[in-house]
Structure 1
């Protein structure tokens, strides 16, 4: 019996444990932190051996294979020891792939992947396909493969998940864009992070597809220097393309398999240039799967968007409050600021992952009237923008941030939470940060 050791007792870890046990592995789950009660109950119910707040080496280093949760870095002591013993360390996606015949649509990128994933799922689901949603979202891929029988999976894949992939390939891959993110996990080398993203296409064959942003310089450069066997489907908001998706005046045109799909952009529910790209990527998948034009059109016009991503919360005294807590890097904050068309009070800050704020300068100059720093260490933000805006305030709670913003904002302004940073200094995660923002706004 092969021994499967799982590091991390969260959603992906517990899902993998259930599938591993079902497939005849001897399973052990080890979490250096605490395991949530609901997950403990599931593990105990299935008779799966687990431990928390420790890693017992003699129970781990006898593994045939190790699945590590994406949040655990390769540099952690236990992972180093596992790798020294030449035990393979893989991600959930890699472990699960051989156990399903379903077609997978794998979606990665520094920004836009959640929206693109949700929108793609929405279109496929509306078309009546038997489709699951997994990866970084919702119920773990492993759990679903153990308990459901889907024909398709739409998977949101982070670079951390792709780092643990060696044989897996999506039938259709989407690369939304690449900008510096998580550099702390990649030795502060941008090229390592770029290489990590492109693992999504490394095993693809001539029968597979890679849908990508043709306006993204990093992606274009990589494609010039490297090859993939996949069929390439580009999308662009800047120029017309013979094949793929592009904007033509106020229409989105998608040309795939000699078949054209055209839709007026005003009927697409998502707003903003970056969202047009997300819509193009999702529509390209729908066209490859030969979904009816009517279904695509309907889905694009009734899609609700993603929580914590440019989510309009409330208008109070004619000031619009916007929750963009999911903006955990500079590039995401760039999209948010770029979409603002009124004077903006910007709430920013958190755990900096090696951010370079210079690319936001022009936008801050043009759109931001005040900055509220919400983080434990705001020095970099203050150094970057101190001379650019008139008002710069530091706070250390969401309530204070929102109250200060209300004082500064005037009729017709907007208050935007778009932190450009991770949330772990003051919050559990970006969802917690976004919920606290909405709660504080509702209490004004």
Structure 2
């Protein structure tokens, strides 16, 4: 059964709408207004936090159904169960390679630029209580606990508890079961296809509230933390942003070019989602729309359903750059010299602790706490140095993670010969007159 999310139609000039009707323009305007309000009226900006939180909750409400239905219909449509394992294997191979590269890039930049050198901070003077909650959450996170948490209490709870990995786990099993049953299960598959149409229409409705959510979220961030907090640690923030930009344009750009598409055209195609991630500091806010747009761009539904949700926990390029860069910044600021052996040990720990961090606000900071708690050379209390600007780096982490997952889905789809290259080229060259076209 054909899925109407995927369309080959290219809008004609006559169908183009005014710029103010584009979702990306509305979100950008909302971000600018929110930043100005938060700067000039901080108290009002802080009070608008519920707008951002409410929008993110609205989107999270539909994430589980979107993932479940996309994965179930995608796997059932593959027919060959061996293809499911092959897609997963290739996806994890890609995640491991690119994530390791991101960690190495962060470590290399920290050693070259040394943003924390010269601060001469005495670790004994740091306020450890400021990061105590994050350190506690990190301590409670173990590999065994993470793996056990993937298994839901019931099949239904996987769709209600808000865990992406639990939803993905149940969806994969259900999709495999549908495939094994075969023809008798066809009515169930048809129903899932029809329900998916309704869910994606609901996503389209919710995305109309994106400017309101972005306005509230950015007003709160600027109002609470203030742009002035960027000055003292501007070197670290600037280094992180520049490193992430170079990683996207150079590393992901090369990967994209080798697989037949332009990273700049992909960014243009996803500009509405990128602005939404920027405004809310959460890559989850744009997950349903990303899935729809990748399908529209010619990626197979089953590949997208497996790669994107899994990547939200295992393919966090921005978080990995942040982990090694921030850890070495703290060491440099405290005057702690780390040998190459200690730095590579730090990288190895970061490789493990970064897996399973969800693409939500604050997860990168908790993951950094988990890494430092295992590496005794760098004090966990040193995280208090960057606590004030972590929110501003959260946007960049989320953006880089989001772009990395979009690239990963296209690359794996091409490896599997499940990518319509002509459609991808056509859609990236002509993104469309309406931002909501991919989900309407």
**Which of structures 1 and 2 has the larger relative contact order (alpha carbons within 8 angstroms, sep 6+)?**
2
What's the TM-score once normalised by structure 2's chain length?
Answer: 0.22
Greater strand share, 1 or 2?
A: 1
What's the TM-score once normalised by structure 1's chain length?
Answer: 0.22
